[in-house]
């Protein structure tokens, strides 16, 4: 084995950017490799179709027949809609040799991990350990897509994440601050077959601060594009792979539906950034639909960012009495404008409009105090908001400044403005 290592120095720190392996032995996914019954048995055992107690040494005998192995092959063929009768045919072999997720299959048609594997809260913190700014950007985009379809909020948190993403190589360990320092039982295999794996929120590692890990094979040639452009030949989409692994970390099984995001195998022709309907149904069955505000009826439809209406015979809540302003009538009086993640945010007094620049779609206006979670927030009376080059959003309001997560506009922390070295006064107004 010859190892080629390329190193670069970024900002004074040594960073490993590429490690290429040139193997002198054949890999299982090599097109010239003879994928026989022994190879198939190892594969089916690795991905959950054969029992851990199943022995494979006798398969080296010529013309060996095994009903258990035939049933496992048939189960694999049935799950992926391959024509077959338990015989290891060419179509089955070609699928087994494709790059895929390292998490085991569960050959049921429904995609939910049923036994206690669901987050008990809907605000989940994440971190990409030693990830570059491009890695962070890809991860943020992935979490945004899952949040768009269900009642979950995701926050980037560098100190106490619930989901920790990291790169690993072949034999690798868990992180000491997440799942301990023991060896991860799922080794990587170098470039080309197992792309990544993750852990379900199964309750095993839960405590006061539950944390589960996602591992990505560093030896893959990762493309970090987050547009609909096609991926260069020989590269693997980090976005598509991580979007899939996050699905596992939220409690989803593999899907047999191609081109579902939760399909086990990597689809190099898939450039779509959105979840498929199969994925949406699965995640919503665990956590419900995203909660939105119905402007016409002036009521909350399961909204996580607004208080649920309380109905009595004499009182109404803030939500029921809302009278949203008309954007066309206030467009010359907008207080602040912010562009983040291909969305345009228009702030007027204590309201905000969110406009998708890609889909040219405008969402109904929302109350700032509900959308961001800061009481009495009103840019008409002062304050300022901007985005750092690193992606975080900084908001100044009265005597404090806030760090806002750009994936969901929720407050990560707040500090007095004098902590920035400014003099202490009763209020700041940034013009």
Q: What are the binding residues for Ca(2+)? A: 189-190, 205, 207, 217, 220, 335, 337
Cα separation, 288 vs 246, whole angstroms: 17
Of 394, 399, 395, 397, nearest in space to 425 by CA: 399
The closest alpha carbon to 416, from 404, 406, 402, 429, belongs to 402
Annotated binding site: 101, 172, 189-190, 197, 205, 207, 215, 217, 220, 244, 248, 254, 262, 335, 337
Determine the Cα–Cα distance for residues 335 and 378; give it in Å rounded to an integer. Answer: 9
CA–CA separation, 165 and 168 (whole Å)? 10
Dihedral, 109, 115, 118, 120 alpha carbons, nearest 10: 160
Quote the crossing angle between the two packed helices 67-79 and 37-46, to the nearest 10°. Answer: 60
Contact 63, 120 (CB under 8 A): no
**105 DSSP assignment:** P
Cβ neighbours for 106, distance < 8 A, ≥ 6 positions apart = 48, 113, 253, 254
Query: Residue 12 burial (CB < 10 Å; 0-12/13-18/19+)?
Result: exposed
Catalytic residue numbers? 245
* Closest of 274, 283, 231, 234 to residue 255, by C-alpha: 283
Query: Which token pair is 88?
Result: 């290891």
Q: How buried is 109 (Cβ within 10 angstroms: 0-12 exposed, 13-18 middle, 19+ buried)?
A: exposed
Task: Identify the CA nearest to 226 among candidates 247, 207, 243, 202.
Answer: 243
Q: Are strands 194-198 and 410-416 parallel, antiparallel or unpaired?
A: unpaired
- As a whole number of angstroms, the distance between CA 300 and CA 307 comes to 8
Q: What DSSP element (H or E) covers 69?
A: helix 67-79
Half-sphere exposure (Cβ direction) of 127: Cα atoms closer than 13 Å: 15
């Amino acid at each position: 084995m010859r190892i080629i290592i390329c190193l670069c120095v970024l900002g004074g720190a040594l960073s490993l950017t590429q490690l290429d392996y040139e193997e002198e032995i054949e890999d299982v996914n090599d097109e010239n490799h003879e994928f026989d019954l022994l190879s198939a048995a190892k594969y089916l055992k690795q991905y959950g179709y054969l029992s851990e107690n199943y022995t494979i040494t006798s398969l080296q005998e010529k013309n060996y027949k095994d009903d258990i192995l035939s049933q496992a092959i048939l189960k694999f063929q049935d799950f992926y809609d391959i024509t077959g009768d338990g015989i290891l045919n060419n179509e089955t072999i070609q699928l087994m040799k494709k790059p895929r997720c390292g998490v085991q299959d569960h050959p049921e048609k429904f995609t939910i991990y049923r036994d206690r594997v669901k987050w008990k809260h809907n605000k989940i913190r994440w971190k990409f350990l030693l990830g570059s700014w491009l890695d962070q950007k890809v991860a943020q985009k992935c979490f945004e897509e899952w949040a768009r379809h269900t009642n979950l909020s995701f926050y980037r948190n560098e100190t106490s994440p619930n989901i920790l993403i990291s790169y690993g190589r072949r034999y690798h360990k868990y992180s000491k601050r997440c799942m301990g320092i023991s060896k991860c039982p799922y080794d990587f295999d170098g470039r080309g077959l197992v792309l990544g794996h993750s852990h379900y929120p199964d309750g095993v590692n839960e405590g006061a601060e539950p944390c589960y890990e996602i591992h990505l094979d560093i030896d893959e040639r990762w493309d970090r594009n987050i547009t609909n452009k096609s991926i260069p030949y020989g590269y693997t989409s980090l976005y598509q792979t991580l979007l899939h692994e996050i699905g596992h970390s939220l409690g989803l099984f593999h899907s047999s539906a191609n081109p579902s995001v939760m399909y086990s195998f990597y689809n190099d022709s898939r450039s779509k950034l959105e979840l498929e309907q199969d994925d949406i149904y699965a995640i919503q069955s665990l956590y419900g639909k995203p909660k939105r505000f119905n402007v016409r009826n002036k009521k909350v439809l399961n909204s996580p960012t607004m208080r649920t209406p309380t109905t009595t015979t004499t009182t109404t809540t803030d939500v029921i009495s809302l009278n949203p302003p008309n954007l066309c009538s206030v467009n010359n009086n907008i207080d602040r404008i912010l562009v983040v993640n291909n969305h345009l945010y228009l702030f007027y007094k204590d309201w905000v409009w969110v406009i998708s620049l890609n889909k040219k779609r405008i969402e109904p206006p929302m109350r700032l105090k509900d959308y961001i979670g800061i009481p009495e927030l009103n840019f008409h009376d002062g304050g300022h908001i901007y985005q750092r080059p690193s992606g975080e959003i900084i908001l100044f309001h009265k005597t404090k400044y806030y760090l806002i997560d750009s994936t969901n506009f929720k407050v990560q922390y707040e500090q007095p403005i004098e902590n920035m070295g400014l003099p202490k006064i009763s209020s700041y107004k940034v013009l």
